[in-house]
Amino acid sequence: MKTDKLIHAITADNATRSVSVERWLAMVIFPGIVISAILFALMLGPRSDIVRVSGEFSFLFKFVVTLTLALTATLLACRLARPGADTKLAALALLAAPVILGLAVLAEFTAVEPAMRASKLVGTTWLSCVTFIPILSVPILAATLIALRHGAPTRPALTGAVAGLIAGGFGATIYAAYCIEDSPFFLATWYTLAIVGVATVGGLIGARLLRW
Amino acid sequence: MRQHCNNRAFGDVIWGTTDVKDREAEWADLMRLAIAGDQAAYQRLLLALAPWLRAIARRGLARWGDADAEDVVQETLLAIHLKRHTWDADRPIGPWLRAITRNKLIDNLRRRGGRIDVSIDGMEDFLAAADEKPPVETRDVEPYVNELPERQRDVVQCILTEEISIRETAVRLKISEGAVRVALHRGLATVARSYKRDMT
């Protein structure tokens, strides 16, 4: 095929408008979250004392961390989907959630007696945590990857992993309504494990799915 | 007149980079016009980009020859088109073009099992020298076009092979212009994917 012919055909297609990745994410992430919320309602439901604890700092703090992660990861994914776009600032912003959590861990460390620390870390529901956060992340991960396919990520695996952070962040946010463990130790261990797991899966799938 | 020529030569030496910036700005302007609907501007842009892409592709695929390099040119032009909504019109177009070109070149080298020796990290590399030698024809794209769904195949054949306009295609195939546009876009996207397939 002669390149000039291709250029003619491409030019004829000039009127086509494509939707940006940002728009796509806005369109599909909410349905993904809703599906996860429905799964949550069917499988778990909120903790029985949720009304009582909904004003407590330690309960609300979980949401602050997970939502911060989900939102900063979304910003980074939007940058990664645009070839040549600067990602440094967005990558730096991603550190916000870990830093906030790290500070909380330090604070808890000084406040809690040594004997209690281990039991707060292990908790009683770690298995449910590392099981359900990934499950709740699945619809959101699917939605995010579908949206990112409309971009042009030059690093598909990395972008997939960041999609996993988005999904894990929102999935963990939903899970946190059920979770009875409020210790930052627990968060830093099990939530991190679950979310990193989702990010790994996102990276593996993204490496294939996000090619263009 | 003589004075003017001397100054110009002097300027080229000292302000070579201004040339690069001008070209980048010109391409960005053309792309903005194209996105706003100016088809002629889009054609000018693509015709201007092709020789640059060709130079990079021929350098990168020196081991394989001009037909294979032309594959990369075409694949990159399609990518630039299909992903043009990923360019932020407020930002320079150079890094965006460079990233897409680099990506397609590496993809291509990887598919052919070649060494990834791509050096378009600097804008100077990208805008170094256009390859003014005439383009060669690539392998036949007919088989891939024939595989398209009927509507897309007819439309792509009209516009790609016979180079007639959208309106004429709509008249000939007795469908609406809107239907032609949709079929053309999908057809181009499918043709773009076909480059990844068996190339031996």
**Per residue in A4-44, pLDDT tens?**
999 999 999 999 989 999 999 999 999 999 999 999 999 99
From CA A27, how far away is CA A50, in angstroms rounded?
30
Reported confidence tier of residue B118, pLDDT bands at 50, 70, 90: low
- Range of weakest confidence among A199-208, B122-131, B136-145, B146-155: B122-131
Question: What average pLDDT does the segment B174-190 reach?
Answer: 92
Using a CB–CB cutoff of 8 Å, tell me whether B28 touches chain A. Answer: no
- Kindly report, residue by residue over A112-145, the tens digit of the pLDDT: 888 887 777 777 789 999 999 999 999 999 999 9
Reported confidence tier of residue B133, pLDDT bands at 50, 70, 90: confident
- Given a cut of 90, whether residue B128 has pLDDT beyond it is no
Using a CB–CB cutoff of 8 Å, tell me whether B34 touches chain A. Answer: yes
Reported confidence tier of residue B123, pLDDT bands at 50, 70, 90: very low
For residues B161 and B114, which has the higher predicted lDDT (pLDDT)?
A: B161
pLDDT averaged over chain B? 82
Residues of A in Cβ contact (< 8 Å) with B99:
83-84, 154
pTM score = 0.88
Q: Which pLDDT value is given to residue B5? A: 46
Which residue among A4, A14, A85 sits closest to B88, beta carbon to beta carbon?
A85
Q: Contact A14/B184, CB-based, under 8 Å?
A: no
Question: What average pLDDT does the segment B191-197 reach?
Answer: 81
Residues of A in Cβ contact (< 8 Å) with B81:
10, 13
Termini Cα distance of chain A: 21
For residues B132 and A128, which has the higher predicted lDDT (pLDDT)?
A: A128
Q: Which pLDDT value is given to residue A132? A: 96
Q: Which pLDDT value is given to residue B130? A: 67
Its ipTM equals 0.89
Q: Which pLDDT value is given to residue B62? A: 82
Q: Which pLDDT value is given to residue A121? A: 78
Q: Which pLDDT value is given to residue B4? A: 46
Q: Which pLDDT value is given to residue B195? A: 79
Using a CB–CB cutoff of 8 Å, tell me whether A208 touches chain B. Answer: no
Using a CB–CB cutoff of 8 Å, tell me whether A88 touches chain B. Answer: no
Question: What average pLDDT does the segment B96-102 reach?
Answer: 94
Q: Contact A1/B140, CB-based, under 8 Å?
A: yes
Q: Contact A82/B46, CB-based, under 8 Å?
A: no
What is the secondary structure of chain B as a DSSP string?
-HHHHHHHHHHHHHTHHHHHHHHHHHHHHHHHHHHTT-HHHHHHHHHHHHHHHHHHHHHHTTTT-HHHHHHHHHHHHHHHHHTGGGS-TTS-SHHHHHHHHHHHHHHHHHHTT--------SHHHHTS----SPPPP-S--HHHHHTS-HHHHHHHIIIIIS---HHHHHHHHTS-HHHHHHHHHHHHHHHHHHTTS---
Residues of B in Cβ contact (< 8 Å) with A84:
91, 94-100
- Given a cut of 50, whether residue B10 has pLDDT beyond it is no
Question: What average pLDDT does the segment B133-152 reach?
Answer: 80
Question: Which residue from A minimizes the CA distance to B91?
Answer: A85
- Range of weakest confidence among A90-104, B2-16, B35-49: B2-16
Of all residues in chain B, the percent with pLDDT exceeding 70 is 80
- Given a cut of 70, whether residue A186 has pLDDT beyond it is yes
Residues 88-147 of B with CB under 8 A from A: 88, 91, 94-100, 102-103, 135, 137-141
- Given a cut of 50, whether residue B75 has pLDDT beyond it is yes
